[in-house]
Structure 1
């Protein structure tokens, strides 16, 4: 009897090992509606819902690992995380044979934001400080930063950038549309910040590590099915 129990335990061990949680990265510079971080843990937001749903689709739990943006890609390359979501091919300098891109599930639009409505292009601004997120790249704006036509002023999160713009720490800032809509949603009309022009539009996807420990193809198929069933649109609509 003891021998039978031992065989059962040993036989179950590989299955238990295979069912470890899927490790997703959370960039600590993100803010709502992408994610709310409390005490170093991701507690709500689009990415929390998306990644928990994606893991459940393949019969796993999601482990959400909060880390600095500059650590995320290295963590994927070295196998510390399994999935990196909310990333664009336009933001990653090179591909890697160890991971596979999913289909894009949304588009991120980055916009120039101001306190006064109007149509303004960044190239028309001279010698003004521009609110940006620490570590984020803005290819269209980089020549303007290099020539000192625009003076980049970083904050740690997108929410902090918008707060500083609201308090007139600078005249203009860059934000993605989702974050700007979230910031404005509980403010009266006269206090809302305004989109002045679009500066970039990028497809957003997930990178999945191609490894025997990761159900890579199952995750890719799950994302295709979620897209076809309208789950991504429904998820985003909850945070607009």
Structure 2
């Protein structure tokens, strides 16, 4: 009996121990419906629900690191985060050696947005020289040649929400937004004040990147996303935030 007591104590201690931690990055530029952050911790949003679901599926405790977008790459390289979601292969010139890609999760459209009275679709190259609302740290491939030529120049905001708020307040005539954030923003406005989509600038599939390390359940996360995709859970999460079809359109393949 005396021999069993240490074993029982060890088993009890192990059973009560916290589950392993999985560190997710959160870009401070995100706003609803992607993420709402209070006191440096996310509390709701499409990506918050997605990360919570990943953690439940894998059996880990999620830990959220809220970072400036320009610090995300540094955090990946220094091993400070384990999972980075809402990211595209198009955003990297070189494949990060210590991270692997998941299947695409969300299909995103970036659109050119005008004020409530902007009724005619237009292309960015048709715009007169002007400032255009953008988000700090984001790259806009379609607009970059126009920025380099000086025909347009960036008016950066810290978040997508602030960029749209400035457009609505008349700080500039046009802005760039992902379509989901624009739809969410317009829900709070009367029909006559809603911002207008003028053109689709880019479309891209976004997924997650998972660090390859013996202490990280890399394959578990990748398999969890496949299961969540096949079961329709990712689509249901998207639908909660007005993104019907956003998950369904993302091709189920590994980049």
TM-score of the aligned structures, taking structure 1 as reference length:
0.93
Contact 1:165-1:172 within 8 A present in 2 as well: yes
| 1:34 aligned counterpart, secondary structure | coil
The more displaced of 199-208 and 15-24 is 15-24
Contact 1:85 1:205 in 2 (8 A): yes
Distance (whole Å) between structure 2 residues aligned to residue 2 and residue 155 of structure 1: 66
Say if 2:136 is the partner of 1:100: no
Q: What is the Cα-based RMSD across aligned positions, in Å?
A: 2.0
- In the other structure, the counterpart of 1:148 is 150
Report the Cα distance in structure 2 between the residues aligned to 1:214 and 1:13, rounded to whole angstroms: 22
1:189 and 1:197 map into 2 onto residues whose CA distance is 20
Is residue 159–residue 183 contact of structure 1 (8 Å, CA) maintained in 2?
yes
Q: Which stretch of structure 1 is more off in the superposition, 134-143 or 70-79? A: 70-79
Match of 2:111 in 1: 111
Unaligned runs of 5+ residues in structure 1 are none
State the alpha-carbon separation in 2 of the partners of residues 33 and 209 from structure 1.
26
Offset at 1:117?
2.0
- Aligned residue pairs total 240
1:12 Cα deviation from its structure 2 partner? 7.9
Q: Is the 8 A contact 1:33 1:182 kept in 2?
A: yes
Within a 5 Å distance, the mapping from 1:129-168 to structure 2 comes to: 129-168=131-170
The farther-off stretch of 88-97 and 152-161 is 88-97
Specify whether residues 225 and 126 from structure 1 end up closer, same or farther in structure 2 by C-alpha distance, changes over 3 A only: same
Equivalent of 1:235 in 197, 213, 237 = 237
Are the structure 2 counterparts of residues 126 and 58 from structure 1 closer, same or farther at C-alpha, using a change threshold of 3 Å? same
Q: 1:76 to 1:9 in 2, by over 3 A?
A: farther
What's the secondary structure of 1:139's corresponding residue?
coil
Cα deviation, 1:157-189, whole Å, max 9, x if unaligned, reads 000000000011000000000100000012111
Q: In structure 1, what is the Cα distance between the partners aligned to 2:29 and 2:155?
A: 15
Q: 1:73 to 1:13 in 2, by over 3 A?
A: farther
